[in-house]
Amino acid sequence: MTSRVRSVTFDTHNPYELAGFWLQVLNAPRPDDDHPGDPYAAVVTDSMTLLFEQNNDEKAVKNRVHLDLEPDIPRDEEVDRLLALGATIATDFRNPDGTGWVVMHDPESNEFCVLRSAAERAATS
């Protein structure tokens, strides 16, 4: 018998608001049972569920787990789109030859990476 990952859970000050950011990032609909002020909010996609849980503790150190995003569009366009949604760049590891990735923060400073799209990787193979 084995276990499966049911969801990836984030501690957050405002579950509804942070889930709203990730709903836009992943182009997912908001579940009907998520409401402002609830202690939990979810982002459900075909491949995973992100759960946002109310926790008022401050983030103290770097995340030990993070998400790697592979966009359908070119990486740099996705970075620009995410910046417009409220993300910030933490560290930029893009290289002049087009390889590399960008470490970003969501609105509550959770880290995630934006990788090159599959098409970009295929073009440099």
- Treating both helix axes as pointing N-terminal to C-terminal, what angle do 75-85 and 15-26 enclose, rounded to 10 degrees? 150
Nearest partner of 124 among 84, 97, 101, judged by Cα: 97
7 φ, ψ to 5°?
Answer: -160, 160
At the fourth CATH level, the homologous superfamily of domain 64-124 is 2,3-Dihydroxybiphenyl 1,2-Dioxygenase, domain 1 (3.10.180.10)
pLDDT along the chain (125 residues), means of 10: 85 96 97 96 94 88 85 97 98 96 95 95 86
Residue 71 has what pLDDT? 96
At the fourth CATH level, the homologous superfamily of domain 1-55 is 2,3-Dihydroxybiphenyl 1,2-Dioxygenase, domain 1 (3.10.180.10)
User: Which regions of the chain carry the CATH code 3.10.180.10?
Assistant: 1-55, 64-124
- Alpha-carbon gap, residue 17 to 37, rounded angstroms: 9
